[in-house]
Amino acid sequence: SDLQKQEERGELLQPLIFVLLVLCSVLLYFRVSLMDPGFVTSEEEMKAGKSEEQNMVTPQVPSNVKMRRCGYCMVKQPMRAKHCQLCQHCVRRYDHHCPWIENCVGEKNHPLFIVYLSAQLVVLLWGGHVAWSGLYFEQSWDWLQHNIFLLLSFLLIATFTIVVLLLLISQLYLISCNTTTWEFMSHHRISYLKHSELENPFDQGVVLNLWRFFC
């Protein structure tokens, strides 16, 4: 049959890989959106879960900066934590609240969020290539009527690709500097940053920053 011939020629391999990538992207989406981003639930959990990174960088922060108790959920916030009004929890190493996954990006799910963005970008680039390869341009009304759906699909994919690419690049840059989106945007309002002699007391070099984040 035609299907067997296509399989023998290897023509079904690429569609299969694409479907598997889409499935992987969907599974990553649900995993990142449903998992605990690093909620601070009590002082005991905060002390038990204090990371090695915080132990190393705390001495570089001015001694007059004290850990404060959150005015919303009344837990003692570890350094780099922030209360999210939408999640109604304090989140360790808070980066941002992502409306797309309807969850915070924090200490626990941040690396997986980067993996999700990377998988999503590959799917979008591949889908954009497929949509573009199916277009052949002619200056006629009939051509537009027959290709309007494919053209709109390509434009939509291109828009999402640009958004995901910019987000991924900005995230990787901040990770390489060992800072978060919240710290980058609100540097002048965060006590342990504005009173520090160093512009970024958590920065330990690009290689070590990336190693500590992903490994």
User: What residues are labeled active site?
Assistant: 98
Tokens of 62: 């001015």
Residues ≥6 apart with Cβ < 8 Å to 160 = 124
User: Which residue's structure tokens are 């840059």?
Assistant: 173
Residues 88/39, Cβ–Cβ less than 8 Å: no
